């Protein structure tokens, strides 16, 4: 068995053995998968400190940075805004998803999501940001979600679904316009939301599996 595989197994087994010291010792392993597994084990063992998590946001591997953000989603710490500037689009997409999982997002975080939804070059990041704005449902994000109805089809679908979270006259107006969208799924979503006798739930978005 090669050393990387052996260490990955150690990192995974550490959570079952309750050996958090072993997991900590593997955080500096040269293999990104080992470091990511060690992070997960520490979280499972309740030993993942804020300091270790924060340091992982600067890991040279996007795989580890992504895993750190996934773990942050259900923790009380705020999401650092600089993770949205990550050069890896998958990390940014994951950060948007994590933001949508936060119960009390700050105004700064919502503004960051609006910026990503408006201007990020990666379509998946824009889509994830729009979904997060819908999950949060803050009035601060409404104009951005409305603007997203002019984006690519997948983002227009996500924006139409996100509108369900907002209580504003602009919502019905936008949904009525979406009944004539070029994409049939956007039209269907708009029709469902405008039909008072039916209910549609926002679709959860999470990191894409790899």
pLDDT surpasses 60 at 130: yes
| pLDDT classification of 202: cutoffs 50, 70, 90 | low
DSSP 30: S
Report the residue count for the chain: 210
Query: 9 and 35 in contact (C-beta within 8 Å)?
Result: no
What domains appear along the chain, each with residue ranges and CATH number? 1-55 (no CATH), 103-210 (1.25.10.10)
Of 74, 6, 18, 20, the closest CA to residue 52 belongs to 20
pLDDT surpasses 80 at 124: yes
Alpha carbon distance, N-terminus to C-terminus of the chain: 24
Q: How far apart are CA 97 and CA 110, in angstroms?
A: 12
Query: 93 and 126 in contact (C-beta within 8 Å)?
Result: no
How much is the average pLDDT of 80-88?
Answer: 96
Structure confidence at residue 207 (pLDDT) = 52
**Residues above pLDDT 90, as percent of the chain:** 87
pLDDT surpasses 60 at 200: no
pLDDT surpasses 90 at 170: yes
| Tens-place pLDDT, residues 65-75 | 999 999 999 99
pLDDT surpasses 50 at 204: no
| pLDDT classification of 4: cutoffs 50, 70, 90 | confident
Structure confidence at residue 194 (pLDDT) = 92
């Amino acid at each position: 068995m090669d050393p990387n595989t052996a260490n990955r197994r150690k990192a995974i087994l550490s959570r079952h053995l309750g050996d958090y010291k072993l997991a900590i010792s593997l955080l500096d392993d040269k293999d990104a998968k080992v470091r990511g597994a060690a992070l997960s084990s520490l979280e499972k063992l309740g030993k993942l400190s804020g300091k270790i998590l924060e340091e992982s946001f600067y890991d040279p591997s996007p795989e580890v940075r992504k895993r750190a953000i996934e773990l942050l989603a259900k923790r009380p710490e705020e999401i650092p805004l600089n993770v949205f500037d990550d050069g890896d689009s998958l990390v940014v997409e994951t950060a948007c998803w994590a933001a949508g999982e936060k119960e009390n997002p700050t105004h700064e975080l919502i503004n960051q999501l609006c910026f990503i939804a408006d201007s990020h070059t990666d379509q998946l990041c824009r889509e994830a940001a729009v979904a997060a704005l819908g999950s949060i449902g803050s009035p601060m994000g409404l104009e951005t979600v409305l603007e997203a109805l002019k984006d690519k089809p997948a983002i227009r679908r996500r924006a139409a679904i996100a509108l369900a979270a907002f209580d504003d006259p602009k919502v019905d107006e936008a949904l009525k316009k979406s009944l004539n969208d070029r994409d049939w799924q956007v039209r269907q979503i708009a029709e469902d939301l405008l039909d008072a006798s039916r209910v549609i739930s926002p679709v959860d978005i999470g990191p894409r599996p790899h």
